[in-house]
């Protein structure tokens, strides 16, 4: 079994969107190698249509360039990117995605893939905390088998 197969098995029925790309950062990369059903629902597309694309296909007019630059820097330095982006579904509707993206490293430290956990969030009313934590809330929260695993990994956690 490969690490990739293990991820697929865990991700398959997860309610959080999970997408895995190759490690190439510059266009045409990163290229989507795997996405789970929840990711397909989040972005409003068939999985067959997104495998082989770069995640940039979700971007549009209101996707902030500064946030994408921060995303790019995190990928280039092998750091986690945790942030919020305006993205667009297949039917053109906009949604706000919370994105927690990390490198997957081989034993020798080299980056083999990137994995990203993604969910839709809505802006909360009222004044946000200075860290940004609490500014957005997930559209839905569930208690599937992966919930505990994601908590252990600190997914969506503000540092």
* Per CB under 6 A, 16 contacts ligand FMN: no
* DSSP codes joined into one string, 36-79: -HHHHHHHTS-HHHHTTS-GGGG--TTS-HHHHHHHHHHHHHT-
Q: Is the distance from CB of 132 to CB of 158 less than 8 angstroms?
A: yes
Q: Write the binding mask 85 to 104 for ligand FMN: x where contact by CB under 6 A, - elsewhere.
A: x-x---------x-x-x---
Name the minimum Å distance from CB 95 to ligand FMN. 10
Q: Which is nearer to ligand FMN, 81 or 125 (CB)?
A: 81
Beta strands per DSSP E along the chain: 17-21, 32-35, 81-88, 94-105, 111-123, 136-138
Name the minimum Å distance from CB 92 to ligand FMN. 15
Site for ligand FMN in 19-48 (CB under 6 A): 19, 21, 30
Q: Of residues 16, 18, 58, 121, which one binds ligand FMN by CB under 6 A?
A: 58
* Per CB under 6 A, 116 contacts ligand FMN: yes
């Amino acid at each position: 079994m490969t690490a990739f197969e293990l991820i697929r098995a865990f991700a398959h029925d997860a309610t959080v969107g999970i997408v895995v790309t190759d490690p190439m950062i510059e266009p045409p990369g990163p290229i989507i190698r795997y996405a789970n059903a929840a990711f397909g629902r989040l972005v409003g597309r068939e999985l067959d249509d997104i495998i082989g694309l770069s995640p940039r296909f979700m971007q549009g007019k209101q996707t902030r360039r500064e946030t994408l630059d921060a995303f790019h820097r995190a990928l280039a330095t092998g750091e986690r990117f945790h942030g919020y982006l305006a993205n667009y579904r297949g039917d053109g509707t906009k949604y706000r995605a919370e994105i927690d993206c990390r490198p997957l490293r081989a034993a020798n430290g080299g980056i083999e893939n990137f994995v990203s956990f993604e969910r839709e969030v809505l802006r909360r009313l009222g004044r946000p905390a200075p860290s940004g934590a609490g500014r957005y809330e997930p559209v839905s929260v569930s208690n599937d088998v992966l919930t505990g695993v994601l908590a252990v990994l600190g997914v969506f956690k503000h540092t």
